[in-house]
Amino acid sequence: MADTGVGIAPDDLPHVFDRFWRADKSRSLSTGGGGLGLAITRHLVEAHGGAVTVSSGPGAGSTFRITLPVP
């Protein structure tokens, strides 16, 4: 899945799959997520023997890739 949003800063990329981590610390829970969605995604994908990765850059959007093994 890819988007054309603002992208993710290189310093933030290692943390995007961490529980409760949010790039924009100024946003409240009412205006943004709780920082669990990508952590849950990673856990579910890895539980099925797969991997999830992200590539991004400021102003370039983000691409998330999920790979799962074929039985």
Query: The pTM is what?
Result: 0.77
- Report the pLDDT value the prediction gives residue 28, as an integer from 0 to 100: 52
Query: Which tens digit of pLDDT belongs to each residue from 5-59?
Result: 888 889 989 999 999 877 665 555 555 677 888 999 999 999 999 999 999 988 8
Structural domain boundaries in the chain: 13-67
Write out the CATH class of domain 13-67: alpha beta
- Report the pLDDT value the prediction gives residue 30, as an integer from 0 to 100: 56
Residue 10 CB burial class (10 angstroms; 0-12, 13-18, ≥19):
exposed
Contacts of residue 47, Cβ cutoff 8 Å, sequence gap at least 6: none
- Report the pLDDT value the prediction gives residue 4, as an integer from 0 to 100: 87
- Report the pLDDT value the prediction gives residue 32, as an integer from 0 to 100: 64
- Report the pLDDT value the prediction gives residue 29, as an integer from 0 to 100: 54
